[in-house]
Amino acid sequence: MSIWLFSFVSGLFLLHFSIALILINKEVPQSRGMLYPRESETREVRSLDGIWNFVRSDQANPTQGVREEWYSKDLSKSGPTIPMPVPASYNDITTDNLRDHVGTVWYDRKFFAPRSWAVDQRVWLRFGSVHYEAYVWVNGQKVVKHEIGHLPFEAEVTHLLKYGAENRVTVMCDNALIQTTVPQGRITELPNDEGMTIVQSYTFDFFNYAGIHRSVHLYTTPKTFIEEVVVTTNLSKDNVGGEVLYSVKFNGSAINEADNALYVRAQLYDREGKLVANGTSDAQLSGSLQVDNVNPWWPYLMHPEPGYLYQLEVKLHASNDELLDVYRLKVGLRTLSWSNATFQINGRPVYFRGFGRHEDADVRGKGLDNALMVRDFNLLKWIGANAYRTSHYPYSEESMQFADEHGIMIVDECPSVDAENYNQELLGKHKSSLEQLIHRDRNHPSVVMWSIANEPRTREMNADSYFQLVANLTRSLDKTRPITAAIATPWTDDKAGRFLDIISFNRYNAWYSNTGRLDMVTKKVVEEAVAWNKKYNKPVIMAEYGADTLEGLHLQPAYVWSEEFQTEVFARHFKAFDILRKKGWFIGEFVWNFADFKTAQSYTRVGGNKKGVFTRARQPKASAHLLRKRYFALARELDDSSFPEDLFTYIADMGKTENA
Ligand code: GCB
């Protein structure tokens, strides 16, 4: 059945004049389970990270491996393999043109399933993310397929494993982006020197890295186990009393059918490991814990002890009190509220000072890298930022946990970038990406906002009905956080802002418009922010501004691409932001970008996008030092935090100290 409904003009079967595409609201599949793999007295976790075997398919014959059933035996039996690290993007590992490969690639590896796992438990195979589409087999049997990168997926493999013996996992990964994938792209066949070749193109501005990007885990659960835990928190008005509301779902037989009286014991421990609250759930496995003298979760620099986390211990019991399963997770107690002018955390207004970022690095591409993650958080704290947007896709679960610990607020973005040509299939996947994202991230105190898209073409026909449906779904899944989208369509033409709670706009004054004109920044930024606020009467954030900057290029007076220019562009924006802050509804500034990153090849990109405040190797450009002064000055003014000792370099006595 066609999913497109056309209105025909004058009874003609013609589409030239007006194609009224009606988008239908269809249910999206609901995610299940996928709690982050954690060991406990009832669970074991094993990593399958390491060096896997890898084969690239013939681009002209992408389904060959499936037809020839490469998954039924070791990949090396079907042809030569090369070693490939997991997690990592495969693109920059070799010295040939694997970087630009389009279509399918294959991975496999062997692993042992211990004999002890054969008895009385389940085994799960979980991928943190494979980009863009993944097909997984275990010992030749298909176990799971997942589309949309950057999101976890898993399958039970209990019945497919050979216990006390070697097993094989095979993954086929497809990086092709088309008009119905999220994000969208195009595949075209073009003539080249050898005949014809397949070319992937896309409008978004980051390299389409692909492969097994995050960790692969095997983990065990008991037969009857905790499948879902949802946590929300409340604070009393004075932030002294706290409440943790939890709701648990189990999977498995309730021991016997007559026994549906499973229950949960929930215990909350503070940072020192002291038990501060405990209770027993109701029959629906929900309950609440009251905490006296609570330590609320505060953002970095808003409180001397930011990122305070408790540990929630969830124990699933049978009605005869037998302990079935134990799962522990970190919980931050905080409240969020917002109006048409403010955004508040624990009753205090928040002003966001942060970045748009990318998961991107030399060699490993978008592969999870703990060293890089920790370095990035050190830099975020060094520079005094309190927030970032996960532009333009969900970031690793490990980084979300790190943000919780360090009090960094996250605007959590789904993988929709530059959405256009709105169609039913795209809508379904876009909604599914948000469903999966919210399912994954709903318990993180660091997540304070959902971003439902970056730079969608919101003047296009159907942008309004499309975004209404996307926003409605998001709200139906989580009412505790506001919704935004980073919009670049001029405010005059935008049709999506009315469905958002907070307006975020991206604009590159003195870069893409009026290039080089530093004298044309401040007024334009103020005017545009005021216009967005007037149009929608909602809080406004500048979600992107910046200038490409080649590290080490110095030109005085400032000239595009130089470090002087980036610094000046920032300063002109700061002036605008300070004018806007006085208006009350302007609630944040996000520089584009935290660090330089790789893009597709283009004559506008010298080795990638260079708008980073840090280089790709995570070293500061001149602008980083200026931004640091601004972010700490804002933190002092708004949140009463103190300056780090090294914020201002000694220049001269200025007559302030007495003679020795
Ligand atoms: C934007 C996009 C971002 C780009 C940036 C740029 O508006 O949201 O993905 O990288 O501009 O530098 O062009």
Residue 274 scores a pLDDT above 60: yes
Query: Cα–Cα distance between 405 and 297 in angstroms, integer?
Result: 9
Residue spans in the chain of domains classed CATH 3.20.20.80: 351-639
Helix (H) or strand (E) holding 527: helix 522-536
592 Cβ inside 6 Å of ligand 1:
yes
Structural fold of domain 351-639: TIM Barrel (3.20.20)
454 Cβ inside 6 Å of ligand 1:
yes
Each residue's pLDDT tens digit, 356-377: 999 999 999 999 999 999 999 9
442 Cβ inside 6 Å of ligand 1:
no
CB 308 within 8 A of CB 297: yes
CATH number, span 44-175+210-222: 2.60.120.260
Mean pLDDT of 96-107: 97
Whose Cα sits closest to atom 7 in ligand 1?
506
Query: Cα–Cα distance between 588 and 585 in angstroms, integer?
Result: 9
Residue 478 scores a pLDDT above 80: yes
455 Cβ inside 6 Å of ligand 1:
yes
Q: Please, is 86 exposed, middle or buried when counting C-beta atoms within 10 Å of its C-beta (0-12, 13-18, 19+)?
A: buried
599 Cβ inside 6 Å of ligand 1:
no
Task: Give the confidence band of 259 by pLDDT, cuts at 50, 70, 90.
Answer: low
Q: Give the strand order in the sheet containing 323-331.
A: 275-280, 263-269, 310-317, 323-331
Q: From ligand 1's centre to the CA of 599, what distance in Å?
A: 10
Whose Cα sits closest to atom 10 in ligand 1?
205
Structural fold of domain 224-331: Immunoglobulin-like (2.60.40)
Q: From ligand 1's centre to the CA of 205, what distance in Å?
A: 6
- 3-state class of 159 per DSSP? helix
Task: Give the confidence band of 653 by pLDDT, cuts at 50, 70, 90.
Answer: confident
Each residue's pLDDT tens digit, 540-557: 999 999 999 999 999 999
Whose Cα sits closest to atom 9 in ligand 1?
205
Mean pLDDT of 144-153: 98
352 Cβ inside 6 Å of ligand 1:
no
Residue spans in the chain of domains classed CATH 2.60.40.10: 224-331
71 Cβ inside 6 Å of ligand 1:
no
Residue 13 scores a pLDDT above 60: no
Average pLDDT, the chain: 95
pTM: 0.95
Residue 4 scores a pLDDT above 50: no
596 Cβ inside 6 Å of ligand 1:
no
DSSP letter for each residue of 52-79? EEEEEPPTT-TTHHHHTTGGGS-GGGTS
pLDDT at 267: 98
For residue 512, give the ligand 1 atom closest to its CA. Answer: 13
Token readout for 31 is 């995610």
Each residue's pLDDT tens digit, 218-250: 999 999 999 999 999 999 999 999 999 999 999
Q: From ligand 1's centre to the CA of 9, what distance in Å?
A: 39
Mean pLDDT of 189-198: 96
Q: Which of 205, 487, 597, 599 to mutate to test the pocket of ligand 1 (most atoms within 8 A of CB)?
A: 205
**Distance from chain centroid for Cα 26:** 24
For residue 546, give the ligand 1 atom closest to its CA. Answer: 12
Q: Which of 391, 592, 613 to mutate to test the pocket of ligand 1 (most atoms within 8 A of CB)?
A: 592
User: ∠241-300-537 over CA atoms, to 5°?
Assistant: 80
Task: Give the confidence band of 3 by pLDDT, cuts at 50, 70, 90.
Answer: very low
Cite the active site residues: 455
Residue spans in the chain of domains classed CATH 2.60.120.260: 44-175+210-222
Residue 524 scores a pLDDT above 70: yes
pLDDT at 657: 61
pLDDT at 255: 52
Q: From ligand 1's centre to the CA of 613, what distance in Å?
A: 14
Residue 143 scores a pLDDT above 60: yes
Share of the chain above pLDDT 70, in %: 95
Query: Cα–Cα distance between 509 and 524 in angstroms, integer?
Result: 8
611 Cβ inside 6 Å of ligand 1:
yes
